[in-house]
Amino acid sequence: MALAESERIAQLLTKDAGKIVTAALFAKDYETKKHSERVAKYSREIAIRYGLTEEAEIITIWALLHDVGKIGIPEMILNKPGRLMEMEEEILKRHTLIGEEILKNIKDYPKLASVALSHHERFDG
């Protein structure tokens, strides 16, 4: 099997695993579902406009999965109206670590875990 073919199979398996994980998260939190769908739509469009046509599909998957760690955050925090208290914000920030833990189990595509872990990082530190 050619390397390109095995990479494509890994992407498809990742996509299926991603669908399962995102379905679980989306069942828990509708707002995260809508947010992730918007991020995926815009990420795909940006990728295409920058000439990353071949990468657009996996970028879309990354975008859908970036907040998957929110599945481990209590609903009372996710759905709280108004501002979160400092302690609640600290709990919410853990979603990046939780997402990394979930996605590192998709061995065929290890970059997924780093997307979840680092999606709130800033280039300037």
pLDDT of residue 1: 44
Over residues 89-124, the pLDDT tens digits come to 999 999 999 999 988 887 777 788 999 999 998 877
**Tokens at residue 117, please?**
């872990």
Q: Number of helices (H) and strands (E) in the chain: give both, helices first.
A: 7, 0
Q: Are 36 and 63 in contact (CB under 8 A)?
A: yes
Residue 115 CA to residue 36 CA, distance in Å, equals 13
pTM higher than the cut 0.85 = no
Over residues 33-70, the pLDDT tens digits come to 889 899 999 999 999 999 999 889 888 888 988 999 99
Percent of all residues in the chain with a pLDDT value above 90, rounded to a whole number: 46
Percent of all residues in the chain with a pLDDT value above 70, rounded to a whole number: 84
For residue 87, CA distances in Å to 17, 35, 94 come to 32, 23, 11
